């Protein structure tokens, strides 16, 4: 897509944002790749290097060697190294500051929307968050940093309270999503009049129902993604482009319109 096309499309998205009453942003791993976090199914995605089967709750619980590999990855900063929000995260946070964001529903576990400035109560993390570790037996929760600090001497940390299996508080395949989060995100999707999808293949359910609920409730759909998605044909605006660059252009147009 040429530069002029992207800018024209960005202007169309800005028009939709300015006129929307309730805008829901739905984000996937593609919004965080420009922060240095690999996505899952894009080029060089995580699933081209790791086996998604190892991230099923069944295999994580059954195989200590699988848990050891994942704790080693975390000790090396593999998934939660010190990363910073990028222009796309800051653009979404600016939408909130301008009073043009109802909420963010994210599949990401990196906390970058909150770090960029979106208030916690406006971020619905469908797949949990890597800031914490949970004991699968007594459900006690620990800060991720506390467990990582133990990894230098323990390759398989156990719950100090009950010796149970510890797992990062992200949702693994085969695990239930946090029900209260999913139902509030679904409720918001049914109420929004604009749903902006940023950086997702929209192939993992039930998360991918969110933009579908919005569409079925009559909301306009915007998709900003590198690569096609199953919802492209239902998008009012669909941009093939990098999240940071596109959202930067969008917010330039939003600022100009609001200033008029």
CA distances from 176 to 10, 181, 182, 205 (A): 36, 11, 10, 11
Q: How far apart are CA 249 and CA 254, in angstroms?
A: 9
Site for ligand APR in 207-236 (CB under 6 A): 225-227
Q: Between residues 87 and 101, which has the closer beta carbon with respect to ligand APR?
A: 87
Per the annotation, the verdict on 127 as an active-site residue is yes
Shortest reach from residue 242's CB to ligand APR, in Å: 4
243 binding ligand APR? (CB under 6 A) = yes
Q: Pick one of 9, 33, 111, 186: the residue that binds ligand APR (CB under 6 A).
A: 33
Contact in structure between 224 and 197 (CB atoms under 8 Å)? yes
Nearer of residues 20 and 35 to ligand APR, judged by Cβ: 35
Asked if residue 200 binds ligand APR (CB under 6 A), the reply is yes
Instruction: Compute CA distances 231 → 124, 174, 222, 242, whole Å.
Output: 21, 24, 10, 18
Does 114 interact with ligand APR (rule: CB under 6 A)?
Answer: no
Residues in 124-143 that interact with ligand APR by CB under 6 A? 127
Among 28, 85, 128, 211, binds ligand APR (CB under 6 A): 28
Residue 41 interacts with ligand APR (CB under 6 A)? yes
Size of the site for ligand APR (CB under 6 A): 21
Residue closer to ligand APR by CB (options 159, 224) is 224
Please choose, from the candidates 122, 124, 121, 116, the residue with its C-alpha nearest in 3D space to the C-alpha of residue 90.
Answer: 116
The span from the CA of 53 to the CA of 155, in Å, is 21
DSSP class of residue 171 equals P
Should residue 242 be labelled a site residue for ligand APR when binding is judged by CB under 6 A? yes
Q: At residue 164, what are phi and psi to the nearest 5 degrees?
A: -75, 170
Stretch that binds ligand APR, among 117-125, 135-143, 151-159, 193-201 (CB under 6 A): 193-201
Nearest approach in angstroms of CB 247 to ligand APR is 9
Return the residue matching tokens 């796309």: 88
Contact with ligand APR (CB under 6 A) among 9, 23, 26, 107: 107
C-beta pairs of 173-176 under 8 Å, 24+ apart in sequence: 173/52, 173/55, 173/56, 173/57, 174/56, 174/57, 174/58, 175/57
Annotated active-site positions, please?
Answer: 127
Name the site residues for ligand APR (rule: CB under 6 A): 28-30, 33-34, 39-42, 45, 107, 127, 199-201, 204, 225-227, 242-243
């Amino acid at each position: 897509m040429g530069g002029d096309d992207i800018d024209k499309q960005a202007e169309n998205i800005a028009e939709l944002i300015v006129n929307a009453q309730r805008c829901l942003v739905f984000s996937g791993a593609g919004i965080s790749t420009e922060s240095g976090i690999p996505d899952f199914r894009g080029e060089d995605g995580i699933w081209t290097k790791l086996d998604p089967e190892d991230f099923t709750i069944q295999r994580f619980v059954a195989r200590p060697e699988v848990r050891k590999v994942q704790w080693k990855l975390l000790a090396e900063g593999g998934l939660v190294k010190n990363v910073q929000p990028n222009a796309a995260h800051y653009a979404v946070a600016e939408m909130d500051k301008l009073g043009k964001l109802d909420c963010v529903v994210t599949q990401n576990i990196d906390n970058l929307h909150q770090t960029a400035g979106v208030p916690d109560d406006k971020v619905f993390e469908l797949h949990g968050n890597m800031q914490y570790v949970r004991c699968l037996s007594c459900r006690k929760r620990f800060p991720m940093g506390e467990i990582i600090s133990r990894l230098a001497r323990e390759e398989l940390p156990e719950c100090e309270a009950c010796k149970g299996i510890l797992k990062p508080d992200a949702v693994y395949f085969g695990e239930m999503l946090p029900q209260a989060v999913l139902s509030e995100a679904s409720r918001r999707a049914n109420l929004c009049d604009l749903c902006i999808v940023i950086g997702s293949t929209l192939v993992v359910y039930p998360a991918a129902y969110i933009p579908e609920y919005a569409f079925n409730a009559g909301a306009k759909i915007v998709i900003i993604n590198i690569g096609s998605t199953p919802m492209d044909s239902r998008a009012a605006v669909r941009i093939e482009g990098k999240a940071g660059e596109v959202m930067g252009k969008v917010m330039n147009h939003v600022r100009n319109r609001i200033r008029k």
